[in-house]
Each structure stands twice: as structure tokens, then as C-alpha cells.
Structure 1
Amino acid sequence: MKFIKLLSSLIILAAVSVFVAANFLFIKIDLGETGVRTQQYAVFGAKGVVPEDFGPGWHRNLPLLDTWKIFDSTVQTTEFTTEQERQATRKIYSFLSSTSQRYLDASSTGSTGQVELKSKDGYTVRLDITVKYRVSPNEVHKLYQELGSEARYKGIVRDQVQKTIRDIFGTMLTEQFYDPEVRRTKTVEAKKDLKGELADSSIDLIDILIRDIAFDPSYERKILDKKLADQDVELNKSRALAEDKKGETNRIAAETEAKVRVIEQELIAKKLTMKADTDKEIAQLNADARLTAAKLKADADLYKAEFEAKGTLLEKEATAEGERLKATALNTPGGENLVAFEIVEQLNLGEITVSTQSNDFLDVASVLEKVGANAE
């Protein structure tokens, strides 16, 4: 039983010792941080800053021998802006996560007013700028040796940014600040120069952003008056162009109307030509029809005349034959009786007085002989 109690005491003592050793003999570096260790004495190595960057994890921290300086290795932000803009940014980030709060705290320590400079033509221009940077990887110990503190290297960033911006953007005319292409070219130039300057101090420039530009109120009024004057000029040009276009429109309208009239006259002439051609074709058809009808009528008349002539000929021939046959018949004994009969039949006598003494009507032969008939 005593052994178990002793073992338990030893385990507890060992755990406490480990805990104490971990807190007093080691240091923990979190993510996003880089440590720099300085040896106070030449024990277990040379005295001074250890030429090495220590990343996240547990590292040696011997009392009285080691001292540590922890640097934020994440991307830092320095804003050159107005206090109103800074307060608005703080209000936005106050609703976000702890990481964003960390960004807010880091950016606020490096904030300053807008970068103010004189343009080439003497006007004051204020630039709202955001700069992104960090300590160069594997060079944190160098920065510590040269500058000694994190606040000092951020101050170097602020000073160098203002100097570079004034040197490069100060060569621009005030009116050129309105040109986005010129601003972009100057920003690229400033970034290149600033990156080289900060690299000598073990600072890595990520980017530089020109967010806003403010001018002197007098210059802004001058620009406004100029823009209004330019607009008046453009308006007058537009009006003159409109008048020119109006004359051009009238000319085009007149030409179009003339072309329409020509087309209408051509259509009328074409219609008349087509009508004349149609009338000619109709007249030709009518003439052809009349000619055909006349030919047909002539053929019919000829056919009729031929048949009429044949009929007349036949009639004449029949009459002649009848006369011949009649003459032949008259030459016969019965012919004399027929002639006498026709003579008697054709007599149209009224009341006559015949002497019965001279004529004996009972003597038939005598009567027939008197009228030329033959009783035989």
C-alpha cells in the first residue's frame, strides 16, 4: 500500500515537473508568428541573435540564457486614409471574426493620414493608399538585428511609402490624376521602386493600392468650370453637327423623293408600254381571228356556192330532161290530147253563146278535133 502511494506521488511530481519545465524551459510559437532567439551568454552556442527564424511549435527557452522576440509573420496592412474612413473600416470589422479583428488591430497600428503631395503644376493632391507587406521569409532575425522592434519596421514602411509616392506621383500634372491609365502606370512604377527599397530592410512588399484621390477645392472648382466649358463646347459642336446632319437629311430626303418620282414615272411608262404591247397583241389576235373567220366564211360560201351550183345544174338538167321527155311525149298520140286538155283547162271563159247548129256537143269526136285532140 505504501508502495502505491509512493508511486502515485512520483507520477504527480513528474507531471508537475514536466509542466513546469514546459513553461519555463520551452516557449510555444503560434501559427502566423515567427520567433527570434537571442543567447545572453556563449553557452551552447555563440552569444547574440541566433541567425535563424523559428516557426510555429515548441522551442528552447532556458532562463537567464535565452530571450525571445515574437514577430507577426502574416501580411500586414498600412492605410493612408482619413479618420472617417478608418472609423468606417473599424465598424465593418467589428462584426467579423477574431481573425478579422486581428487584421483590424494590425492595420490600425500602421494607419496614418492621406499621402499629401504637390503636383507638377503646383496643386495639392491627397492620395488614399493601402499598402500590403510582411517580413521577408527567413529574414526575421536580420530585421531584428537591424531594427530591433516590429513598430520600427512598420514606421520605415510608412516613411518609405510616403517618400516614394511623392517622388513618383509628384511628376504628374494634376489633370493626369484623372487618367486611369496614367495612374496605373505610376502605381506600377511606385510598386517596383518601393519593393526594392523595402527589400533592403528585409521587408517584402505585397502590393500597393491607390483607392481614392482628393484635390484642392479651388482646383476642383477650376476643373468643374473647365468641364462645364468643355461640355458647352461639345454641346455647340453637337448642335452644329445636328444642323449639318439636318441639311444632309433634307438633301437625302429630296434625293429620295426625286428618285421616288423617277421610279413612279418609270412604272407609269412601263405600265403604258405593257398596255400598248397587250393592246397590240389583242389587236393581232382579233385580226388573226377575223382573218380566220373570213377564210372560214369564204370556204363555207365557196362550199355553199359549189353545192348550189351543183343543185342548179341538177335542177336545170332535170328541167331539160323533163322538157325533153315532155317533147317526146307530145310527139306521141296521147300528147295531142294532153295539149288539148291543158288548153281547155287554161281557158277562162265567161258566159258565151254557142250555136248548137254549128256545134254538136254530142259528137265527141267532132268536139275533140276542134280543140286539137284526137278521138283515136
Structure 2
Amino acid sequence: MKSSAKLFLTVFGVTLLTVAVAVMLTEKVPPATIGVKQYMWGGGIVGQDHEMGYHLGITGYHRWHFLDQRTHFVTFSRDRRPSSFNHQEQPSLEIRTRDNNTAAVDVTVTYRITPGEGHKIVQGALKEAYHDRVKSTVEGVLREELAHLSPEDFVSTEIRMQRAQNILPVLAEAMSAFHVTPETILIRAVRFPPEYEDKLQKKQLTRQLAKLAPAKQAVEEQLQVTGTIEKQTEAMVKTNRAEWDKALQTMSSNNEVAMARVMAEARVYDETTRAEADRDYLKLLATGELAMAKAEALRNELRNVALDTRGGRIFLGIEAARNLQIDSVTLNSNDPSVPTIIELQKLVEILIGEPETP
């Protein structure tokens, strides 16, 4: 039990000592930050920028300086906001233009510490002062360079942007002494005195009107061209429509003629076929009737021949006696010549005209 407690205390002590040594021997550089190491006992500033992460730094022997690696802003504006560590706000720049007029310019300049030169800021003792030095340099360069513009140049967006691009190399050269590099120059607004603003607006209006006259003339010319094109188009539409109507009418007439021809041929075929069918029907009907008449004549002839024999006469006599209808019979027993219907043989002899051979 005692040995386990002793082992636990030993491990805990070693861990605590390791953490303490690690804390004393390392230094953390936060994100978006440049770390600069300085030897307290000889050696001075280390000529290297340390990026984010953990670096060797012995407490009491090394001292660390931290610089903001993010983009810095210098803004000259009428609507000022409170300045921050990397954002400095100043009133609008009062510029004397090329034609000796005044202008209030709102402009923003962005810059960053030049990569690999953060330690030079510390070496030059500019860690706390480089923001103000950069601001003063930016203000001086902008006042000098923007003074070459006239009010008309300020009004033109293309000239204003081009001038800002031309100022950028000049500003970079001036700011290189503080180991920073400008990124962009953004001229956001330009204001003139009210009386000059009116003159400038009238001048711009005159220029716009001067440009408007050729534009109107060009519009009129285009309208004439458009009108000509419209008339040509209408004429082409009418021509094409007439051709289409003509072609449609021709096709319709051809179709009607073709339909009439087909209908006529169909009627001729129908009438011809019907006539041939009627003819064949009558011919066959006549042939049939003739055959029936011949068969009937033959039947009658054969029947007559058969009935003309003695057997035929007996058959006829039997049929006559069978079909004989006698309403009343008078019997006279005193006259033997009177036949009786009961004596069928004598009745047959009377009907066939000859006595039956025994």
C-alpha cells in the first residue's frame, strides 16, 4: 500500500515537473500573429519572424514580441469611427486640386507587415510607433499625389481609379522604411465647396448635353435606319405572304382537281362494276330460271309418262278416291248398278275407266 502511494506521488511529481519545464521552455505564437524573439542576456533581436505555433522560449532568458499579421486600415472619412489596433480613423483629406480648388476626399488605404520583416520593426524600435508613422506617410503621399488631379478628374471614375493605381508604387516605396506594404487605395467619396459643387454640376450638365446632341442625332439616324428596315421587312412580309397565298391557292386548286379526278374515277369504277355485277346477276338469274323451267318441264314430262301407265292410272284413281268428298250417299239395294263407296274396287274401276284385273 505504501509502495503504491509512493509510486503515484513520484509519477505525479515527474508529470508536474515536465509540464513546468515545458511551460518554461516554450512560447505559443497565436494565429494571425508574428512572433519576434529577443535574447535578454546578449544576442539582441533574433532575425527571424516566427509563425503561429510553439517555439523555444526560455522564461527569463528570452523575451517575445508579438505583431499583428492581419490587414491594417488607414481611413480618412467624414463619418469617423473609433480607431482600433489595426484600424486608424482620421478626418477627410483636404486636397488643393490642380486648378487651385479645395476638395474633401474620403479614402482608405490597406497595408500589411511585409513578410519576413516583422523582426525589423522590433529592431528599429517601431513596434509601438509604426502605426502612426505609416498614417503620417500615407497622408503626406496622398496629399501630394491627389493634388495633381483636377475636379473633372475626381469626377471621372476611370481617371480616379487609374490615379489610385499609379499612387500605389509611390506609397509602397515610402512605406518600405517601416517594413510594411500597401495593398489597395480606395477613393470612396469626393466633396467640393457648395458653390463650386453647383458650378461643377452645371459644367457636367453642359458636357452631358453636348454629348446628348450627337447621341440624339445617332438615335434619329438609327430610327431612320430602323424605319427603313421596318418598311423593307413589311414589304418582304407582304411579298412572301402573297407568294405563300398564291402557292397555297395553287396547291388547293391542284388538290381539288386531284380530288375531282379521283371522285370521277371512283364513280366510273363504281358504275362499271355495278353494271358488270348487274349483268352477271341477270345472266346467272336467267340461266337459273331456265334450268328451273327445264327441270320443271322434265319433271312434268316424267310425271306424265309415269301417270300414263296402268300403275299411274291406278295411283291417280287411288288419290282421287282418297281425296273424294261425298256429302251424302243414297243407297238402293234394288239397283245393282249403283256403286257403293264401301266397295273401293268398284269405285276405282269407275274412276280409272276400266275394271281391275283379278
Contact 2:134 2:178 in 1 (8 A): no
Q: Is 1:176 aligned with 2:172?
A: no
**Residue of structure 2 in register with 1:116 after alignment:** 94
CA distance in structure 1 between the aligned counterparts of 2:129 and 2:52, rounded to whole angstroms:
23
- 1:278-317 pair list within 5 angstroms: none
Question: CA separation in 1, counterparts of 2:113 and 2:57?
Answer: 23
* TM-fit CA distance, 1:28: 0.6
Residue 105 (structure 1) shift: 4.4
Q: Where in structure 2 are the equivalents of 1:267-346 lying within 5 Å? A: none
| 2:41 matched residue in structure 1 | 41
- Cα distance in 1, alignment partners of residues 210 and 54 from structure 2: 73
5+ residue gaps, structure 1:
88-103, 253-376
Q: Deviations over 1:73-127 (max 9, x none)?
A: 122222222335x48xxxxxxxxxxxxxxxx94443x222222211111222122
Aligned to 1:153, which of 130, 147, 169? 130
2:54 to 52, 58, 64: 58
Question: How many angstroms apart in 2 are the aligned matches of 1:52 and 1:233?
Answer: 62
**How far apart, CA to CA, are the structure 2 residues paired with 1:241 and 1:62?**
81
Counterpart CA distance in 2 for 1:234 and 1:60 is: 70
Q: 1:212 aligns with which of 189, 197, 219?
A: 189
Which residue matches 2:177? 200
Q: Distance in 2 between matches of 1:198 and 1:185?
A: 20
Q: Does 1:225 align with 2:221?
A: no
Following superposition, the deviation at residue 217 of structure 1 comes to 1.7
Q: Which residue of 2 aligns with 1:256?
A: none
* Alpha-carbon offset, residue 195 of structure 1: 1.2
How far residue 226 of structure 1 moved from its aligned partner, in angstroms, is 3.0
SS of residue matched to 1:204 = strand
Query: Which letter maps to 2:65?
Result: K
User: Aligned letter for 1:19?
Assistant: V
Match of 1:74, SS state, is coil
Task: From the CA coordinates, give the structure whose radius of gyration is larger.
Answer: 1
- Map 1:1-40 onto structure 2 (within 5 A): 1-40=1-40
For residues 230 and 58 of structure 1, the distance between their equivalents in structure 2, rounded to whole angstroms, comes to 64
How big is each residue's C-alpha offset from its partner over 1:15-61, in whole Å with a ceiling of 9 and x where there is no partner? 2223333333322111211111111213xxx2x11111111122233
CA–CA distance in structure 1, aligned partners of residues 106 and 19 of structure 2: 50
Aligned residues: 224
Which amino acid is 1:34 matched to?
I
Moved more, 27-36 or 172-181: 172-181
Amino acid at match of 2:14: A
Cα contact 2:95–2:143 (8 A) shared by 1? yes
Preserved CA contact (<8 Å) 2:71 2:86? no
Matched letter for residue 121 of structure 1: D
Letter in 2 for 1:74: R
> Residue 31 and residue 228 in structure 1: after superposition, are their counterparts in 2 closer, same or farther (change >3 A)?
closer
Distance 1:24 1:113, change over 3 A: farther
Q: How many angstroms apart in 2 are the aligned matches of 1:233 and 1:56? A: 61
**C-alpha distance in 1 between matches for 2:209 and 2:181:** 50
Q: Does 1:77 align with 2:55?
A: no
Amino acid at match of 1:63: T
Question: Partners in 2 of 1:25 and 1:58 — Cα distance?
Answer: 10
The alignment status of 1:135 with 2:131, answered yes or no, reads: no
Q: Distance in 2 between matches of 1:204 and 1:241?
A: 51
Identity over aligned pairs, percent:
24
Aligned residues of 1:77 and 1:106 also touching (Cα < 8 A) = no
3-state SS of 2:38 partner:
strand
Q: Is the 8 A contact 1:79 1:107 kept in 2?
A: no
TM-score, reference length from structure 2: 0.55
Q: CA RMSD in A?
A: 3.2
Report how far residue 218 of structure 1 moved. Answer: 2.1
- Cα 1:29–1:7 shift into 2, 3 Å: same
1:63 Cα offset (Å): 2.9
